[in-house]
Amino acid sequence: MAEGSWYDADIDRVIITEEQIREKTAELAKQVSADHADSTGGLLLVCVLKGAVMFMADFARALGRYGPPTEMEFMAVSSYGQGTTSSGVVRILKDLDRDIAGKHVIVVEDIVDSGLTLSWLLKYLESRSAASVEVVALFRKPDAVKVHVPVKYVGFEIPSEFVVGYGLDYSERYRELPYVGVLKKDVYARS
Ligand code: 5GP
């Protein structure tokens, strides 16, 4: 059977390859480990579902090779609905399962676009009395930042285009692509 995704044909161009993601994830993990070398209490990784699921899995494993011990929590929030622009209205679809008071939290984000989701999330985590809250985001679109949010670790700055793959979806599809790319225009016309 030929190797390749069902979805390859819908991709106009690849923005970041699988190899680039792998290398960058290791780099970010080394950086975070070095900065937290004395965090004996460990780090609490908070994954923002669903988009960050691939990055969380790869980043947590990479961190495990170098870093302090980690625990994982998952939150799901919604700010996009079915469309491709942030509404700014954030809904919690799945909350944290436990108390994070006194924990050193690292939010693991897929992409920061307007920054509205993250800005809301940081306030929320701080209101739950985390000892510290930092953010690692695999992608950031610098042109689109509407609110200033402190993102300590950024993987790639990408252009202000809607992208899919490596966890990022369009109407729940394309998440399983191992790379990140831009959809062909006719995909939107079809749906
Ligand atoms: P923001 O609130 O920063 O505008 O958007 C944050 C969330 O919107 C991200 O965590 C991600 O889930 C989604 N998002 C932002 N840009 C894109 C994109 O280009 N493609 C996809 N699939 N989702 C995006």
**Is beta strand 153-157 parallel, antiparallel or unpaired with respect to 163-164?**
unpaired
Each domain of the chain, given as residue ranges in start order, spans 23-162
- Cα-to-chain-centroid distance, residue 51: 6
- Which architecture, in CATH terms, is 23-162? 3-Layer(aba) Sandwich (3.40)
**Are 149 and 118 contacting, i.e. CB atoms less than 8 angstroms apart?**
yes
104 CB-side CA count, 13 A: 13
Question: In one letter, which amino acid is 115?
Answer: G
Q: What spacing in Å lies between the alpha carbon of 83 and ligand 1's midpoint?
A: 10
Question: Measuring CA to CA, which residue among 116, 121, 113, 67 is closest to residue 92?
Answer: 121
| Count of positions (residues) in the chain | 191
Q: What share of the chain is helix, strand, coil (3-state, %, to 5)?
A: 30, 30, 40
**Ligand 1 pocket test target in 13, 16, 86 with most atoms within 8 Å of CB:** 86
**Protein residue closest via CA to atom 19 of ligand 1:** 162
Looking at residue 168, the DSSP 8-state letter turns out to be: B
Q: How many CB atoms lie within 10 A of CB 13?
A: 9
Q: Using a pLDDT cut of 70, give the percent of the chain over it.
A: 92
Q: Tell me what the pLDDT averaged over the chain comes to.
A: 90
- Cα-to-chain-centroid distance, residue 16: 14
**Protein residue closest via CA to atom 9 of ligand 1:** 111
> CA-to-CA distance for 52 and 114, rounded, in angstroms?
16
Question: Measuring CA to CA, which residue among 121, 138, 132, 159 is closest to residue 60?
Answer: 138
**Are 177 and 164 contacting, i.e. CB atoms less than 8 angstroms apart?**
yes
Q: What is the pLDDT of residues 126-170, one digit of tens each?
A: 999 999 999 999 999 976 666 788 899 999 999 999 999 999 999
pLDDT band at 1 (very low <50, low <70, confident <90, very high): low
ipTM of the assembly? Answer: 0.95
Q: What spacing in Å lies between the alpha carbon of 149 and ligand 1's midpoint?
A: 14
Active site residues: 113
170: tokens are 């369009």
Please give the average per-residue pLDDT across 60-74, as a whole number. Answer: 94
Q: What spacing in Å lies between the alpha carbon of 111 and ligand 1's midpoint?
A: 6
Q: What is the DSSP string of 132-153?
A: EEEEEEEEE-GGG--S----SE
**Are 14 and 179 contacting, i.e. CB atoms less than 8 angstroms apart?**
yes
Ligand 1 binding site (Cβ under 6 Å of any ligand atom): 48, 51, 79-80, 86, 109-118, 162-164, 168-170
pLDDT band at 90 (very low <50, low <70, confident <90, very high): confident
